Amino acid sequence: MRETLYSKGENKAGFFSREGLDLVSTLKGPTFEKVFETNNKIIPKVKHLLEPRLTFSYIPDLDRNDKEKIKSFDFIDRINPHSLINYSLTQRIFLKESDGKGDFKTREAVRFILSQSYDLLEGRETRNTGKPPRTFLGYTF
């Protein structure tokens, strides 16, 4: 829930508030991992993780009455409506390192995130404007 209160000064006369809904839902897929044994005494093991994720984010547009009352001065005043689907694949590599005394530490060496988003509202708008609709992947066959 998002709420912004607007007033013309310290007195309470002439104020109004704007309420809005922000909805975000994330689905994390199963994590796939593989541990590689190395022939190295300093780094005896390397772990590779794959983490898929799907996120849906929805912010509706303001109603017409609120839009007419608000002058946009900064990012707080602007609400960009969207209905966004994002899918991503995160790859992480962990190293098991020896300190030379028989103890081991694990640290993340690399994180690589590959993601793409598609705004369902934008796809609907291109249909109404006569422009060719954008595909989800950006490719047409």
Up-side HSE of residue 43: CA atoms within 13 Å toward CB?
11
Model pLDDT, residue 22: 84
Model pLDDT, residue 140: 47
The tokens of 22 are what?
């922000």
Model pTM? 0.65
**What does each C-alpha distance from 44 to 34, 87, 91, 96, 111 come to in angstroms?**
14, 33, 20, 6, 20
Residues 6+ apart with CB under 8 A from 119: 82, 83, 84
Question: Is residue 42 a contact partner of residue 97, using CB atoms and an 8 Å limit?
Answer: yes
Residues in the chain where the model's pLDDT stays below 70: 1-18, 62-78, 123-141
Model pLDDT, residue 141: 40
